[in-house]
Amino acid sequence: MAEIIKFNFHFDNSFGMNPIHTHYFDLYQVGDLFLSPAAKVPEHKQYCFEITFVAQGSGTIYVNDSPYAVKKNDLQFSFLNESHTLQADEKTPFRYFYIALSPVPDTICETMVLSLQKYCTQNNCIFSFPDIFDNVKKLLVEIYNKGVFFEKKVEALIMDILITIFREIADIKTEKRKEKPLSKEVIIYNVVNYINSSDKLITMKDISNKFFYDYNYISKNFKKLMNIGLRDYLYDIRLEKARHLLDSTDKSITEISEQLGYSCIHSFSRSFKQKYGISPENYKNKNASDTEKQL
C-alpha cells in the first residue's frame, strides 16, 4: 500500500515536460511542502539535481537509504539517479522548500553542480546557510506571481542561490587547505598580490591578520625573495597609488593624503617629493597644464 503524505499545505509547481528554459539550466520544479508530524514523503528517484531547504521544524532526509538529521536553515543536495525521501519528526511539523533543475551542459551551472556532487561524495551533504532563505522565498513569490521578465528573474535568483552555496563550500575547502603549510614563495606571492590589488592603504598589521603569519616571519622572507624590505615596498606602492590618483582623479592633495593614511599633508608632500623630485601640488599642476596644451 502506498504511503500517504499528510501535510498542512503543498505549494507545488511542477513544470514536467515543459521546464522553464534559461541560459544556465532547465527548471523542473519549485515548491513549498509542510508535512504533519511523523509524515513521510514516499521514496523516489531523482531525475535531476535538487536542493532541499528546511524552513521549519526538524526531520530526517534519506539519500540512497543513508539518513541525515536536519533542522531549520539546513539545506541538502540530491543528485541525478539518487533515491530520496523525507520524514518529519514525531512531534513537530516539517516544512521545506525545494528546487529541481538540470544544468545546461558546458555552463557555469553545470560546473557548480558537478563540483558540489564531487564534494558531497567525500563529505556530509547537509549544510546550514540561513542567508540563502531570503532569495528562496523571493523565488517562490516570483513563481506564484509570474511578473514581467519572469524567466530572467527566476534565472537570476536561482543562480544567485547556487553561487552563494558554491562560494560558501569553496570557503570551507579553503579553510581545510589552510591546515597544510604553504611554501614561502607562495606566501610572499600572495602578500604581493594582496598589496598591489588593494585600493586601500595596506598596513603591516593588515598583512599579518590576513595571512595568519607573524609579521617578522613575512618581513624576513619578503626581503629574501623580493630584494626589498616589506616596509620599503609598502612605502613605494603607497606613493605609486598617490601618483595614480593625481593622474586619474580630481581629488585634492588633502583628500589623497587622507585616503593613503598619511598623518598630515606635509608628511605626504615631503615623501612624494623625495621619491619623484617634485611636490604633489606641482605634479598635479603640471599634468593639468600638459593636458590643456594637448587640447
CATH number of the domain encompassing residue 269: 1.10.10.60
Conformation bin of residue 71: beta by default, left when phi > 0, alpha when psi is -120 to 50: beta
Whether 64 and 152 map to the same domain: the answer is: yes
Query: How many residues belong to the chain?
Result: 295
pLDDT of residue 177: 46
Query: Helices in the chain by DSSP H: which ranges?
Result: 108-122, 133-145, 150-177, 184-197, 204-211, 215-226, 230-248, 253-259, 265-276, 280-294
Q: How far is CA 267 from CA 156, 241, 250, 270, 273, in A?
A: 49, 16, 21, 5, 10
Q: Which three cell numbers stand for residue 63?
A: 539519500
Distance of alpha carbon 75 from alpha carbon 92, whole angstroms: 18
Distance of alpha carbon 109 from alpha carbon 116, whole angstroms: 11
pLDDT tens for the chain, 295 residues: list them. 344 455 566 788 888 788 999 999 999 999 999 988 988 888 889 889 999 999 999 999 998 888 989 998 899 999 999 998 999 998 888 999 999 999 999 999 999 998 888 888 877 778 887 778 888 889 989 988 888 999 999 999 999 999 988 888 776 555 444 445 678 888 899 899 988 887 677 888 888 877 777 788 899 999 999 999 999 999 899 899 899 889 888 889 998 888 888 888 998 999 999 999 999 999 988 876 665 555 4
Q: How many domains does the chain have?
A: 2
Of 177, 201, 233, the last residue of a domain is 177
Of 177, 212, 229, the last residue of a domain is 177
Looking up cell 557548480 gives: 112
